Amino acid sequence: MKLHEVSLQEAITLLRSKRASSVELVNVFLERIKKYNPKLHAFITVRDEQEIIAEATKADQERAKGSDRLLLGIPIVLKDNFLTQGLRTTAASKVLDDYIPQYDATAVSRLKNAGAIILGKTNLDAWGHGSSGEHTEYGITRNPYDYERVTGGSSSGSGAAVASDLCIAATGTDTGGSNRQPASYCNLVGLKPTYGRVSRYGIIAMASTTDSIGHLTKRVWDSAAILSVTAGNDPLDATSSTEPVQQYHERLADKGRVKIGIPKEFFEGLETKLVTKVLQALDVLKARGHRLIEISLPNVKYAYAIYCVTVSSEVSSNLARFDGIRYGFPRQRFQDEAKRRIMIGTHSLSAGYADQYYKRAIAGRTLLIREFEEAFQKVDLIAGPVFPFPPFKHGEREKDPLKMYLSDVLTVPANLTGHPAISVPIGFVDNLPNGLQLIAPHFSETRLFRVSLEVEQELRMYERKPRLKQ
């Protein structure tokens, strides 16, 4: 295997056995970024090369002295809504084009403390508003498997960077599917942890009650290892959980068969080829001894309407601070998508309409949470597709925002209920990647990883790499 193709687990093994150095790793990725990023638009900002090499040299020296920090000398990238001290953070909007944070997000601090080396900041739909990577002001991210098609969003740059082997792993945020969607479209593993499992402190907020801080990786072990680093209570985030953190990557060998619920509502109206691919993946789990049980989640059909009102209301509130006085440039620089969401949210919260829209959405969300909790009394996991359709071409849905919004219809339920969810690669439909979504009870990430690993071991989709263009 070529050095740039290694997974996190393989990279750690190579570094600890001294068959490769951190300096060699970062140089390989820096060269690939120079070569392929001009067309991919995966990055908004790449750090100074000499600073990166100096950090890698220091990591090699530290390892030679016996340090065993889990991510020591591992090159990763950060979605550009993670605050990074001294490194520009834009949220892919010209409103924050020159913003240099004074501190790191908690998740960033934990990754650095574990020894990770930050190569740069990746592209996204501005403010996280999108499912395609097209709503950015820094060049539309291209899907490494087909440059004419979308990468999925909003963590589009993170997905493209990992899939193109421009880094080992990438962080992302998932408000309505923004890690799972690019993972599905880029043949990667994408994690949305339990709400509050990872601190939101220092992340530019989209919707405060559904934002989840996760990551995109090449393999399941990698995802488990990174969560072992970033998870945990944070005094700076009142919504972060005090639930003990497991060493998730050390629990992957745990035995046990599970009951997997298959909601019929998740398969209604989907393209036949997608349904077939998902069912084939579920057959893999059945063959391994897991039990598949058909279930029904009747209120899921209201999930997107609930999500739209709830999230737009929170977007309206969270973007109010960006007024050209306290933060950033004047609000006239907001793109159409941000303006659209601000207007929807402001209307939903306005006098005379809050009872009709926002409060009803909150009540509907409570019903959805109860429905999922009842389902988890009968099954251990819930499974289904990630996207209702394959990666679409750039501009194909631009003129119809509603069609774009409906990209999230299968992923938003887990954000509304706060449950952990993952996308794991299961194959290609018309030469385009596709993923299986698994949802677990709160704080059951270990179960997610263990079952996902079985899918990965059987299908080995990580072996299929994109053909990149210069």
pLDDT tens by residue, 140-179? 999 999 999 999 999 999 999 999 999 999 999 999 999 9
| Residues taking part in catalysis | 79, 154, 178
Rounded alpha-carbon distances, angstroms, from residue 148 to 39, 131, 182, 365, 404: 11, 16, 15, 37, 17
Q: Name the nearest CA neighbour of 21 among 143, 117, 85, 125.
A: 117
pLDDT score, position 328 = 81
Q: How far apart are CA 161 and CA 209, in angstroms?
A: 28
Residue by residue, DSSP assigns 174-199 as ESSSTTHHHHHHTT-EEEEPPTTSB-
Q: Which residue has the tokens 């909007």?
A: 93
Sign, CA torsion 296/297/301/304: negative
pLDDT in tens for each of the 470 residues of the chain?
Answer: 799 999 999 999 999 999 999 999 999 999 999 999 999 999 999 999 999 999 999 999 999 999 999 999 999 999 999 999 999 999 999 999 999 999 999 999 999 999 999 999 999 999 999 999 999 999 999 999 999 999 999 999 999 999 999 999 999 999 999 999 999 999 999 999 999 999 999 999 999 999 999 999 999 999 999 999 999 999 999 999 999 999 999 999 988 899 999 999 999 988 899 999 999 999 999 999 999 999 999 999 999 999 999 999 999 999 988 888 877 888 888 888 889 899 989 888 887 777 889 999 999 999 999 999 999 999 999 999 999 999 999 998 776 766 666 679 999 999 999 999 999 999 999 999 999 999 999 999 999 999 999 999 999 999 999 999 99
Domain 3-463: give its CATH code: 3.90.1300.10
pLDDT score, position 275 = 94
35: left (phi over 0), alpha (psi -120 to 50) or beta: alpha
Q: Are 118 and 78 in contact (CB under 8 A)?
A: yes
pLDDT score, position 401 = 67
pTM: 0.97
Position 326, amino acid: R
Q: Are 41 and 33 in contact (CB under 8 A)?
A: no
pLDDT score, position 255 = 82
Total residue count of the chain as it appears in this document: 470
